[in-house]
Amino acid sequence: MSSADSTEIVKTDDSSLTSDLDKSLSDSISKKFSNVEIAYVKPDRIRVNVKKEEIIAVASFIRDELHFDHAESVGGVDYPEDKQIEVVYHLGSYTDPSLSKHILALATRAPREDVPRPGNDSTILPSLRDIFPSVSFHERECFEMLGVYFDGHPDNRRLLLPEDWADIPPLRKDFRIKGR
Amino acid sequence: MSSHVYPKEKEIFPGLQLEKVDDRIMTLNVGPQHPGSGHMRIILKVDGDYIVHCDPDPGYVHRGEEKMAEYRNYITNIPHLERPVIHDSCNILYPYCLGVEELLGLEVPERAKYLRVIAAELNRCVYTQYWLAIYGIFLGHSTMFMWPMGDRELVIDLLDKMTGARVTHAYFVPGGVRNDLPPNFEDVCLRQVNYFEKRLKEYADIFYDNPILISRTKDTGILSREDAIKLGTTGSVLRASGVDFDIRKKEPYDVYEELDFQTNVLKEGDSYARSKIPWLDMFESCRIIRDALKKMPKSGSVRVKLKPNPKGGDTEVYRRVESGRGSLGMHIISRGKPQPYRLKISVGSFRNLIAMPHLLTGEMLGNMPAVYWSLNYWPVEADR
Amino acid sequence: MSVIAPKFRLGYLIKGITDNIFWIIVLMTLIGIPVVQIVLIYIDFPVIDGEIWNPFRVFDAMTHPERALPLVKNFMQTDLFKIVAFPGFGFAALIAAAVIFVERKMLAKLQLRVGPFYCGKVEGILQLMGDGLKLISKEIIIPAKADKPIFWAVPVLFAATAGAFVALIPVAPGWVVADIDLGLLAVFAVIGFFPIITVLAGWSSNSKFPFIGGIRALYQMVSFEIPLILSLLGIVMLTGTLNLSEIVESQVNFPWIIFMPIGAIVFFICILAELERIPFDLPEAESEIVAGWLTELSGMMYGLVQLGSYLKLYAFAGLFVVLFLGGWNGPWVFPIEPIAEVITDGIVIMPDALVIKDIPGLPLFAGEMINGTIWFVLKTAAVIFFILLPRGVFPRVRIDLLLKIGWYKLIVLAFVNIFIALALVYSGIIGPGGIM
């Protein structure tokens, strides 16, 4: 087969494949929280964008009512043009067999400063560690890689980077790799 | 978390005081230059022979794979992405290829799907043998170091025939696999896998049924089912704690739902169960390989042609597979460029690392290697 | 730029050799000959046949077997020979070297590999020599904050204590360095030094891992010394002596292992623990505490400790043979007849041309001695094989399990063994009126 047209923009929402469960999950979130934006509902994948003030409440709701019990990954994305840094929690469920295929991406954004001082500037997000203990090391990594300070995390230390790292957080877009 | 209780400071006689708690504590740097650590450091605080505090310090082999991926095209990302775990390189490329295929809308040929499964399962055996060898030498069992290392060559030989490289295969590409099988591969593969399975059974005699091993690893480092779920552990650690979760079963990718295998689950949650699950999984891998060889289409294309520098849409995908160390997920954000805007690799090793302080605190120092390496933790992969 | 001999010329080589020869001649004449002369003034020469022997007569006698053989035989009865060569250090070191080679090859075969292979053409037989050369040529690094005198003394002490232990083991009738009446007590006394040395090593290196290793060695050895001593009490009761040679002589008819298998098993397990062999190698547990109390030792200091530990291995195996397996006792395998012919007829080198006859003192060794040594070495090799075998089969035990084995199980078993010995004595099976 030919894939000549494969580089076109792909449809983000294929409603024919999404199951009723996906729909009901997203509906229950949007019903409960009016400010929450459901970014997309793909087969087994839901993405929810929330404000950072609301993330604790939404996460507690997801854990207690929707039975997502652990974080698969916590990734930070830098958006310099929006002056924001996004943190995406991919949540999964071990306890609920019907949800075992599903990944719920919970995204929130923090303001970004051009001259980062990790821990001492406005790039602060509430930590989800009390709700999902599995995010603790992921949030530490996110702190050192993007400079997002997690308020309420007891252990905001470096994890992977060397102790004498004196540059800006390396996963920000204005940190350029030499020669690239 | 800790089951260990500090002795209370109290006066026995007036003026005569017990030593303070801080006087009893000794800090041990296990690693990075320590035969029992791997490429990482564990900062232990021991009180006598008991560990009262554990602080894992990874990052000695951090290579910035995620940053590198942002500068390279979807195809040129392949060789460097398998570097974090070269023994399991097919499995670490698997979610990347699945994700890129979803981004680009590629349909993988049927034969390529089977080839991927075979390569991934062989690679899982290679990784697990390596892991098992180190588990053996961590417990002071030198024969268990040599046997898996030797038998691993059988599988490496197969992968060498299949992909042309002994460890870093770069076999998976978005849209299929790089090349087809050499002639006669099926017979050789069946023969070697059968012999490999026979050898695996002998490990029980020398290692898993060994009374000293059982007395050392049983009931040490118990991770309860609730804690395993709460801490978000994955792979063998999770399944040893009684949670039946294998992505190959729960979210089958490629042709795993057509193949005949089962998930191994143990209830105990101790080091022994955690060390046994990967070994049991290798039998399932052999089963999968035999089944896949049988069901595989005998001919057909193995990859779809890609345009040079394919661009993804303005979207994102999150795909995960079951690697040798558990769930391996990749979150690829595309913004219409030939390079990914952001590639987040979520690896099982890193997720199991969270359980390490939880398990080691309160254990004896002699249990440290048995518990640490049973977490199926690969330091290089965790650092990425 | 690492090029071997960048400017090699044959002329340079010849020049270097002639230079060396020149310096050797100069130093010999200036230093060597005066030293020899001074030494000769102060040495007492033996009086043989009523005349004092001088060096020239010694050299003369060496060329003449009739005179050399009595000299050699005389020398073999001296303490120096016993300590340095035969039942003492040289013999033990030879067995230790063989043990190391056999251990490596055997373990390799067990683990489906080849082991030492290249060094010495034949199955890597010279590997140990290569390792020794490497250890000697390595730099000795002393930790900056180490307690230097003690740290230097530790390897020497360890090897010397192991040598002292070797000196107590009787190899053949009459062939023992130190034949003392309280031989078994002396053994216990010597064994008691090892934990002190290991603790000193751990403490003086001023490092954490050696310290933990030293402490582990201390409580491992101390807790296993008690069952070790108790397990031998039965033999002392039955033989009524502490002299090791007499204990061997008491086993002419049967070895004690027949009556006291429990004691032998307890003693064997205690040997493994005292020797820090797998599965009891906790003081050197690599994955936990690097190399235990050996961590900071480097170069030949480490080599000396290794030498000491293999001497100790030989000595313990020999002790097991002496106490339980009947020492040098065994069927006569040494062919005595040809030797008798040689004594009466002489050695015929060429028919009718040269017959060396009536050489005084020709049987250098008595037949019993050679036969006993053969049996002793065979039995020791068997015991050493069983000491080495667990290394390929078992993982390491944990320290609490180890102490539990020592204190709960082995001591109880040792007492059971003592009661068996008492029952044998009081029921009259062994002793006056019994089979002995």
Please report the pLDDT score of residue C339 as a whole number.
58
Find the length of chain A. 180
Contact A39, B318 (CB under 8 A): no
Please report the pLDDT score of residue C27 as a whole number.
93
B-chain residues near A163 (CB < 8 A): none
Tell me whether chains C and B touch (3+ CB pairs under 8 A).
yes
- B4-50 pLDDT tens trace: 554 555 555 566 666 666 777 888 888 788 887 778 888 888 887 88
- 3-state secondary structure string, B127-181? HHHHHHHHHHHHCCCHHHHHHHHHHHHHHHHHHHHHHCCCCCCCCEECCEECCCC
The token pair at C79 is 């303490």
CATH of the domain at A75: 3.30.460.80
Residue B333 contacts A, CB cutoff 8 Å: yes
CA distance B179 to B297: 15
A5 pLDDT band, cuts 50/70/90, is very low
A-chain residues near B59 (CB < 8 A): 158-162
* Among candidate residues B216, B213, B245, the one with its CA nearest the CA of residue B228: B245
A:77-96 residues touching chain B, CB 8 A cutoff: 77-78, 88, 90, 94-95
The token pair at B343 is 């590639």
In a domain, A92, yes or no: yes
- C40-88 pLDDT tens trace: 777 776 676 677 767 677 677 667 666 667 777 777 777 788 888 888 7
Please report the pLDDT score of residue A10 as a whole number.
44
Cross-chain residue pair C112–B147, CB shorter than 8 Å: yes
Please report the pLDDT score of residue B2 as a whole number.
44
> Considering CB atoms only, which of A69, A75, A175 is closest to B344?
A75
C19 pLDDT band, cuts 50/70/90, is very high
In a domain, A7, yes or no: no
In a domain, C16, yes or no: no
The alpha-carbon gap from A131 to the nearest alpha carbon of chain B, in Å, equals 9
Chosen from C278, C286, C288, C405 to mutate, greatest number of chain B CBs within 10 A = C288
Who has greater pLDDT, C390 or C64?
C390
- A66-113 pLDDT tens trace: 888 888 888 888 888 888 888 999 888 888 888 888 888 888 888 888
In a domain, C116, yes or no: yes
Residue A136 contacts B, CB cutoff 8 Å: yes
Mapping DSSP to helix (H, G, I), strand (E, B) and coil, where does residue B266 land? coil
> Considering CB atoms only, which of B144, B213, B366 is closest to C399?
B366
Confidence check: pLDDT of B198 > 50: yes
Which chain B residue lies closest to C394 (C-alpha atoms)? B141
B-chain residues near C112 (CB < 8 A): 146-147, 150
Chosen from B76, B342, B347 to mutate, greatest number of chain A CBs within 10 A = B342
Residue B229 contacts A, CB cutoff 8 Å: yes
Q: Looking at C68-77, C161-170, C382-391, which range is the least confident one?
A: C68-77
Contact A161, B62 (CB under 8 A): yes
A:101-130 residues touching chain B, CB 8 A cutoff: 101, 103, 105
Residue B218 contacts C, CB cutoff 8 Å: no
Confidence check: pLDDT of C108 > 70: yes
Question: How many separate domains does chain A show?
Answer: 1
In a domain, A24, yes or no: yes
Please report the pLDDT score of residue C320 as a whole number.
92
- B252-288 pLDDT tens trace: 888 888 888 888 898 888 889 988 899 999 999 999 9
In a domain, A167, yes or no: no
Chosen from A69, A86, A94 to mutate, greatest number of chain B CBs within 10 A = A94
Provide the mean pLDDT of chain A. 80
- C284-322 pLDDT tens trace: 777 778 888 888 888 888 888 988 988 899 999 999 998
CA distance B318 to B320: 7
CA distance B172 to B187: 23
Provide the mean pLDDT of chain C. 82
Confidence check: pLDDT of C131 > 80: yes
Distances (CA, A) of C40 to C32, C37, C43, C45, C60: 12, 5, 5, 9, 16
Q: Looking at B16-25, B151-160, C183-192, C341-350, which range is the least confident one?
A: C341-350
Please report the pLDDT score of residue C26 as a whole number.
94
CA distance B384 to A140: 15
C24 pLDDT band, cuts 50/70/90, is very high
Mapping DSSP to helix (H, G, I), strand (E, B) and coil, where does residue B320 land? strand
Confidence check: pLDDT of B61 > 60: yes
CATH superfamily of B65-383: Cytochrome-c3 Hydrogenase, chain B (1.10.645.10)
* Among candidate residues C188, C195, C192, the one with its CA nearest the CA of residue C218: C195
In a domain, A170, yes or no: no
Cross-chain residue pair C285–B143, CB shorter than 8 Å: no
Cross-chain residue pair A73–B311, CB shorter than 8 Å: no
In the block, residue with structure tokens 């460097």:
B80
In a domain, A137, yes or no: yes
Confidence check: pLDDT of B3 > 50: no
CA distance C365 to C373: 11
Kind and range of the H or E run holding A70: strand A70-79
Which ipTM value was assigned to this complex? Answer: 0.82
Cross-chain residue pair B305–A2, CB shorter than 8 Å: yes
CA B90 to chain CA centroid, Å, is 12
Percentage of chain B exceeding pLDDT 90: 4
CA distance C384 to C366: 27
Q: Looking at B102-111, B148-157, C76-85, C426-435, which range is the least confident one?
A: C426-435
B-chain residues near C289 (CB < 8 A): 365
Q: Which strands form B342-346's sheet, in the order they lie side by side?
A: B316-323, B326-333, B342-346
CA distance B181 to B188: 12
Which chain B residue lies closest to A42 (C-alpha atoms)? B317
- What's the average model confidence in pLDDT over A126-143? 86
User: In this structure, what DSSP letter does residue C77 have?
Assistant: T
In a domain, C69, yes or no: no
> Considering CB atoms only, which of A3, A75, A133 is closest to B305?
A3
Contacting partners of chain B (3+ CB pairs under 8 A): A, C
Structural domain of A103? 14-151
Provide the mean pLDDT of chain B. 85
In a domain, A160, yes or no: no
Please report the pLDDT score of residue A96 as a whole number.
82
Kind and range of the H or E run holding A77: strand A70-79
pTM: 0.83
Please report the pLDDT score of residue C17 as a whole number.
93
CA distance C215 to C135: 26
- B340-359 pLDDT tens trace: 888 899 888 888 888 888 88
B63 pLDDT band, cuts 50/70/90, is confident
C356 pLDDT band, cuts 50/70/90, is low
CA distance A57 to A108: 13
> Considering CB atoms only, which of B142, B212, B366 is closest to C392?
B142
End-to-end CA distance of chain C: 77
Structural domain of C143? 82-334+362-426
Please report the pLDDT score of residue A11 as a whole number.
44
In a domain, A175, yes or no: no
- A36-68 pLDDT tens trace: 777 777 888 888 888 888 888 888 888 888 888
Confidence check: pLDDT of C267 > 70: yes
Percentage of chain A exceeding pLDDT 70: 89
Question: How many separate domains does chain C show?
Answer: 1
